[in-house]
Amino acid sequence: MNALPAEYRNSETGRKVFEAVIREATFGEPDAPPVEIFDNNIGDEITPQWEFVYTNEMWLGEGVPPPDVKNLKSCGCVGKCDPKSKTCACAKRQLEWLQGYIDEGILPATWPGSPFVYDPRGILQRPDCPIFECNQFCSCDDDCANRVVQNGRKWPVHIVKTMHKGWGVFAGTKKIPRGSYVGIYSGELLTELEGEERGRYYDISGRTYLFSIDFHHLKLGMQDPDDWENIYVVDAYHAGNFTRFLNHSCDPNCRIYACYINDSDIDKPLLAVFTTRDVEPWEELCFSYYGDIDEKREIIEEARKTGKEELVKDHAVYARCHCEADNCIGRLFS
Ligand SMILES: C[S@@+](CC[C@H](N)C(=O)[O-])C[C@H]1O[C@@H](n2cnc3c(N)ncnc32)[C@H](O)[C@@H]1O
């Protein structure tokens, strides 16, 4: 498509072809509502650039092992998993991973439906912790409450051009409730080394689609979490879905959670986007590229006070943040 003349790419037909390509990517979400490209007359582009393959799947880069299915633990439940069951392997595994958070007081000891993290409507009840869903070898039903991400997206979204941030993702005509599953941040799963190399090029171009898999639970048990070394990175530049258009906000309404389904390798979760508060119709969906934005804000404010701001910058090239949140930290790495 990019090789075709701009007047074709940038036409109503070009937009319809783009939407059709998205519709055909049904992997993991056969009944998902449409992703539409909405023309709001900002700039000359009618569609985003055809620079990537639209896919909901993870593409494994060089040196990244295939999913470890041999070591998957699955439940033998009949019907829907009962959270109170003493024999459900999935309830046990979820609890094992939550126990650290419960011990630290981050999570209460119980909640309705605990240790599962979803309520019966599939709404994420517990932020801050990894999600372990039932898997392909579990005998429970497809509509077991512990199968949400794997049952696909339920909310329509729009890809819309923004004034200063390129393209972005917006809610459709319906309000999206807090805790709703939005989509998988799909793309190439790369080693950290490959990710770093690509990052250098992306920094120059001013756009990056890299997401480091460095969730808090992976560092649990380490004496000094600063010793943590990242293993994998997801790059949505060449391959990805609509989530690659999610922009950064310093007051985000979405967050990316580690979600384990059909790979027992703890270092290779799926990156599942959920809303963290109700999202109004037509509101932009954004997450914090800094992970915990409050932590980042504190570090920057402290550094500003002590005149050591340069020390909190990493190798990234910084650009002005246009999230327009009242508490914007002012900058974004590109
Ligand atoms: C993962 S992409 C998001 C999609 C991108 N807007 C596009 O059109 O492809 C990340 C890039 O979007 C832009 N971006 C995202 N959030 C932004 C923000 N709050 N302020 C300024 N630019 C932003 C930056 O260029 C960033 O490198």
The whole-number pLDDT of residue 64 equals: 98
Report if residue 163 sits inside a domain: yes
Atom of ligand 1 at shortest distance to CA of 245?
A: 4
Tell me the pLDDT tens digit for each residue of 2-59.
Answer: 788 888 888 899 899 999 999 999 898 989 999 999 988 898 888 998 899 999 999 9
What is the span of the domain harbouring residue 274? 50-69+147-294
Distance from the alpha carbon of residue 251 to the mean position of ligand 1, in angstroms:
15
The H or E element containing residue 208 is none
Separation between Cα atoms, residue 56 and residue 240, nearest integer Å: 6
The 8-class DSSP code of residue 34 comes to P
Going by pLDDT thresholds of 50, 70 and 90, the confidence category of residue 226 is confident
- How far apart are the CA of 165 and the centre of ligand 1, in A? 5
> What is the model's pLDDT at position 88?
98
CATH code where residue 284 lies: 2.170.270.10
Whether residue 191 is contained in a domain is answered as yes
**3-class SS shares of the chain: helix, strand, coil, % to 5:** 25, 20, 55
Q: Does 303 fall in a domain? A: no
Which range, 32-46, 144-158, 288-302, is most confident?
A: 144-158
Ligand 1 centroid to residue 293 C-alpha, Å: 16
Instruction: Find the angle CA(53)-CA(201)-CA(19) to the nearest 5 degrees.
Output: 20
State the distance from the centre of ligand 1 to the C-alpha of 228, rounded, in angstroms: 27
User: Is 214 part of a structural domain of the chain?
Assistant: yes
The residues, any chain, with a CB within 8 Å of residue 5's CB and separated by 6 or more, are none
**Per the domain annotation, does 40 fall within a domain?**
no
Q: Which atom of ligand 1 is nearest to the CA of 246?
A: 3
Q: How many domains does the structure of the chain reveal? A: 1
- The answer to whether residue 311 scores a pLDDT higher than 60 is no
Q: Whose CA is nearest to atom 27 of ligand 1?
A: 207
Residue closest by Cα to atom 1 of ligand 1: 209
**Average per-residue pLDDT for the chain:** 91
In this predicted structure, the answer to whether residue 183 has a pLDDT above a threshold of 90 is yes
Any residues with Cβ below 6 Å from ligand 1, and which? 164-168, 206-209, 244-245, 247-248, 321-323, 332, 334
Per-residue model confidence as pLDDT tens digits over 87-118: 999 999 999 999 988 888 888 999 999 999 99
Which range has the worst mean pLDDT, 13-17, 284-288, 318-322?
318-322
- Whether residue 215 is contained in a domain is answered as yes
Please tell me the residue having the least CA distance from ligand 1 atom 11.
207
Give the distance (Å) from ligand 1 centre to CA of residue 29: 26
Instruction: Give me the mean pLDDT over the 208-226 stretch.
Output: 87
The answer to the question of residue 27 being in a domain is no
Q: Is residue 252 assigned to a domain?
A: yes
pLDDT at residue 303 is higher than 90: no
Of 231-235, 243-247, 330-334, the range with the lowest mean pLDDT is 330-334
Question: Residue 310: is its pLDDT beyond 70?
Answer: no
The pLDDT confidence band at residue 127, using thresholds 50, 70 and 90, is confident
Pick the closest to residue 49 from 41, 35, 37 (CA basis): 37
